[in-house]
């Protein structure tokens, strides 16, 4: 029976299964390791650029093309800014990608264990899709993406597993799909994998998407971008300008550009996260956990003798929050974001106490 208001909905809305983000708890004094946020603050240069941009010009619309930001991204990656598309976080960029490039008669392919926003976009835009099983070790098999399709999208490293594909494997998938767009979603690439951005110069059907939320500590700023052939970028611009011509505000553009210019801060915080990840993976192994090798800013693990949901609850009682998924094949795994070294040590101490009790 429809409610008073839902009777006015587009019928499609009732069938949507929206994305469920990680919990953002309101209580303080938590060790929050559930949403893959960077534990270190943004570049001081980014914060100063945002402060400088907070002036009377906020009464004016921002540059609709975000030209200065595109130039900063292009300079960092050594590419023509004409090959760069920007949006409000990589999720908005991906939304435009799904509509502009991945809606075709044949099904879109993506892994069965992957970013859970992909099937949400398929439902929103009416895109036929097929989930391709990972192997028993949660690895993507490139040959599984060589059949007829309307497009391919893969996170690299994958989420929530943290496993990454080598560039040769990505190139193999791209070459196997000359008439489809292959999208590589690189939200976590800076923590240990190799970016496929250089391959976009050789393949006009490859699009790479990145975000400033993770490795540049700007999740609250909402800036993402895509890199690819100018014709792919033009398709995204057409969709963007049919939806919102001014997606990047003045503060976000200024802060994001400055973050790209502060390479020293980026490298220092990135190394700290990687070092803590390796320490945490080893410590979890000593506690008896099976840990999937990760090249992201999180680890994916299970304890053979303990229920994952029970471990999550026990950690929460100790004011430590981690992510648990109920999806088949991974319902006994926890995804643990990498915090500061002190937070990682507190997590290990808590798990040791839980396991010994």
Q: Do 119 and 217 belong together in one domain?
A: yes
Residue of 229, 162, 170 whose CA lies nearest to 195? 170
**Are the C-beta atoms of 163 and 293 separated by less than 8 Å?**
yes
Q: In sequence order, what are the beta bridge partners of 66?
A: none
Using the 8-state DSSP alphabet, how is residue 99 labeled?
H
Q: Do 26 and 175 belong together in one domain?
A: no
pLDDT at 1 over 50: no
Beta strands in the chain (DSSP E): 31-32, 84-87, 108-111, 129-132, 151-155, 182-185, 206-211, 224-228, 290-292, 298-302, 320-321, 323-324, 334-337
How many angstroms separate the Cα of 156 from the Cα of each of 143, 173, 275?
16, 13, 20
Average pLDDT value for residue range 51-77: 96
Q: Which residues contact 163 (CB under 8 A, 6 or more apart)?
A: 138, 139, 140, 157, 292, 293, 294, 295
As to burial, measured by CB atoms within 10 angstroms (0-12 exposed, 13-18 middle, 19+ buried), residue 319 is: middle
pLDDT at 126 over 90: yes
Average pLDDT value for residue range 149-170: 98
Q: Is the peptide bond before 157 cis (omega within 30 degrees of 0)?
A: yes
**Are the C-beta atoms of 197 and 208 separated by less than 8 Å?**
yes
Average pLDDT value for residue range 237-259: 96
Q: Do 197 and 59 belong together in one domain?
A: yes
Tens digit of pLDDT for each residue in 260-281? 999 999 999 999 999 999 999 9
pTM assigned to the model: 0.94
**Most distant CA pair in the chain, distance:** 60
Q: Do 239 and 96 belong together in one domain?
A: yes
Inside any domain, residue 99 = yes
Average pLDDT value for residue range 60-66: 95
| Per-residue model confidence (pLDDT) at position 5 | 60
Inside any domain, residue 2 = no
| Per-residue model confidence (pLDDT) at position 12 | 80
Residue of 39, 60, 9 whose CA lies nearest to 297? 39
Q: Do 184 and 136 belong together in one domain?
A: yes
Which domain-ending residue is among 236, 261, 286? 261
Q: If DSSP codes are grouped into helix, strand and coil, which group holds residue 134?
A: coil
The CA-CA-CA angle for residues 241, 249, 222, to 5°, reads: 95
Query: Domain holding 275: CATH number?
Result: 3.90.1150.10
CA 281, 282, 288, 292 torsion: positive or negative?
Answer: positive
| Per-residue model confidence (pLDDT) at position 21 | 72
Average pLDDT value for residue range 151-175: 98
Inside any domain, residue 298 = yes
What percentage of residues in the chain have a pLDDT greater than 70? Answer: 97
**Are the C-beta atoms of 78 and 195 separated by less than 8 Å?**
no
Inside any domain, residue 14 = no
Tens digit of pLDDT for each residue in 110-119? 999 999 999 9
Query: Domain holding 90: CATH number?
Result: 3.40.640.10
- The domain in which residue 279 lies consists of 21-41+264-356
Average pLDDT value for residue range 179-186: 98
Q: Do 172 and 194 belong together in one domain?
A: yes
Average pLDDT value for residue range 237-252: 95
Inside any domain, residue 8 = no
d(CA 164, CA 157): 4
Provide the domain count of the chain.
2
d(CA 219, CA 224): 10
d(CA 323, CA 25): 13
pLDDT at 323 over 70: yes
Backbone angles phi, psi at 258, to 5 degrees: -65, -35
| Per-residue model confidence (pLDDT) at position 44 | 98
Inside any domain, residue 71 = yes
Average pLDDT value for residue range 149-164: 98
Confidence of residue 4 (pLDDT cuts 50, 70, 90): low
d(CA 231, CA 166): 26
pLDDT at 95 over 80: yes
Backbone angles phi, psi at 349, to 5 degrees: -60, -45
Which domain-ending residue is among 207, 242, 261? 261
Q: In the predicted model, what is the mean pLDDT of the chain?
A: 95
Length of the chain: 357
pLDDT at 249 over 80: yes
Average pLDDT value for residue range 34-53: 97
d(CA 106, CA 24): 37
Spatial strand order of the sheet with 206-211 comes to 84-87, 224-228, 206-211, 182-185, 151-155, 108-111, 129-132
């Amino acid at each position: 029976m429809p409610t008073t208001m839902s009777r006015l909905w587009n019928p499609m809305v009732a069938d949507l299964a929206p994305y469920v983000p990680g919990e953002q708890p309101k209580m303080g004094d938590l060790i929050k390791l559930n949403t893959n946020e960077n534990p270190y603050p943004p570049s001081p240069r980014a914060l100063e650029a945002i402060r400088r941009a907070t002036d009377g010009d906020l009464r004016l619309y921002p540059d609709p093309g975000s030209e200065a930001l595109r130039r900063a991204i292009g300079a960092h990656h050594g590419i023509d800014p004409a090959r760069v598309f920007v949006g409000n976080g990589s999720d908005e960029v991906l939304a435009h990608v799904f509509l502009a490039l991945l809606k075709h008669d044949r099904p879109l392919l993506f892994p069965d264990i992957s970013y859970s926003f992909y099937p949400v976009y398929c439902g929103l835009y009416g895109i036929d899709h097929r989930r391709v099983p990972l192997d028993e070790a949660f690895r993507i098999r490139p040959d599984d993406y060589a059949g007829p399709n309307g497009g391919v999208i893969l996170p690299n490293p994958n989420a929530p597993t943290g496993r990454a594909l080598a560039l040769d494997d990505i190139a193999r998938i791209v070459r196997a799909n000359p008439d489809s767009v292959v999208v590589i979603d690189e939200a976590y690439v800076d923590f240990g994998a190799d970016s496929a951005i250089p391959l976009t110069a050789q393949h006009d059907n490859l699009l790479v998407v990145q975000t400033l939320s993770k490795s540049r500590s700007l999740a609250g700023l909402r800036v993402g971008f895509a890199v690819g052939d100018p014709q792919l970028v033009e398709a995204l611009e057409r969709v963007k300008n049919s939806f919102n011509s001014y997606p990047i505000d003045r503060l976000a553009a200024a802060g994001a550009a400055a973050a790209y210019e502060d390479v020293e801060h980026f490298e220092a915080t990135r190394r700290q996260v990687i070092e803590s990840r390796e320490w945490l993976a080893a410590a979890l192994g000593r506690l008896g956990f099976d840990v999937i090798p990760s090249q992201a800013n999180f680890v994916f693990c299970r304890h053979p003798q303990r229920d994952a949901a029970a471990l999550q609850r026990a950690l929460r009682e100790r004011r430590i929050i981690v992510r648990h998924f109920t999806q088949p094949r991974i319902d006994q795994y926890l995804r643990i974001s990498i915090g500061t070294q002190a937070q990682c040590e507190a997590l290990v101490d808590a798990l040791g106490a839980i396991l010994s009790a």
